[in-house]
Amino acid sequence: MRTRASAAEPEPLPDPLTLTPQGRGALLDAVTRAGDRLMRNWPGHTRTASPTSWRKPDGTLVSVADHASQRILTTALANTVRNAVVISEENQRSHTRTASTVWFIDPLDGTRQYLAGSSDFAILLSAWTHGVPALSIAYFPADNILAEAYADTLTVHRCGPPPDHPAVHSVYGDVPGLREALAPDTEYLADRYESTRVLADIALGHALGAVVEMCGHYAWDLAAPIHLITAAGAFVTDQDGEPLRLRGPHVSARHVVAARDPGLHQTLLHALNSKGQP
């Protein structure tokens, strides 16, 4: 007897932790190729005019370089991870996607800095499953920094030596009382670098800690550097000391607090929440 064929079951979403070393290598290669593409037109080391740019509806800048990088990354994901659910900054339609595993892409984090010739820009790729990071890559091509987090393991592929005096940072504001809460010989920097670089530096051991005020941040800005920090065995939470769980583009935290050691992390949390009061 012939039976009616049942509808095909949807293919399961891929688990980033089941990717083969070859698959992870393909994504790492795509990120580095995207970086090479950005560097071809980076005003910081060429005499060419800045790439064509325009303002998005939210007022932030986007350029042809952002979209060129995005094409490289999304093509590599499509070829490497079947059924990957991608949420990319420069694809507005992707911002409503939901799944147990999502891949956050920021093809050019720091477009304004990039167009101004600053080296403070990055390419970020990060997969989170049920709000927990699984695989992340961050690349700062102008400074030749490339790091990868896979589950709880951090691999630094390219990086320069750490500074003589790693600092504590306050990013997008100077937290009242924070400077005074630190040991007298602690280097303290307010608004010296963008948040992505500061958080990555904590993971790399190039910074001691930071308090970062959320100023229009989305998950694609934070997913990769947060994972680098946790994979390095360092500490990162919201302003209440709670873990950050990213499942979609929006971030509910008001601050991100990160540090290399738990004692400093508690000092930063206390200074932030006491707002300069003894």
Q: CATH assignment of 167-274, given 3.40.630.30, 3.40.190.80, 3.40.720.10, 3.40.50.40?
A: 3.40.190.80
User: If DSSP states are collapsed to H, E and C, what string results for the chain?
Assistant: CCCCCCCCCCCCCCCHHHCCHHHHHHHHHHHHHHHHHHHHCCCCCCCCCCCCEEECCCCCEEEHHHHHHHHHHHHHHHHHCCCCCEEECCCHHHHHCCCCEEEEEEEEECHHHHHCCCCCCEEEEEEEECCEEEEEEEEEHHHCEEEEEECCEEEEEECCCCCCCCEEEEECCCCCCHHHHCCCCCEEEECCCCHHHHHHHHHHCCEEEEEEECCCCCHHHHHHHHHHHHHCCCEEEECCCCCCCCCCCCCCCCEEEEECCHHHHHHHHHHHHHCCCC
Q: Has residue 33 got a pLDDT over 90?
A: yes
143 is known to lie in a ligand binding site: no
β-strand pairing of 153-158 with 167-171: unpaired
272 is known to lie in a ligand binding site: no
List, for residues 160-209, the tens digit of each pLDDT value: 888 999 999 999 999 999 999 999 999 999 999 999 999 999 999 999 99
What is the pLDDT at residue 12?
A: 53
Closest among 123, 161, 155, 162 to 142, alpha carbons compared: 123
List, for residues 69-108, the tens digit of each pLDDT value: 999 999 999 999 988 999 999 999 999 999 999 999 999 9
What is the pLDDT at residue 13?
A: 52
What is the pLDDT at residue 196?
A: 98
| Domain segments of the chain as ranges | 16-158, 167-274
Q: How far apart are the first and last CA of the chain?
A: 82
89 is known to lie in a ligand binding site: yes
Q: How confident is the model at residue 17 (pLDDT cuts 50, 70, 90)?
A: confident
- Please indicate, yes or no, whether the overall pTM of this predicted structure exceeds 0.95: no
Does the 16-158 domain belong in CATH 3.20.20.70?
A: no
CB 162 within 8 A of CB 156: no
Q: CA–CA separation, 193 vs 211, rounded Å?
A: 12
What is the pLDDT at residue 278?
A: 53
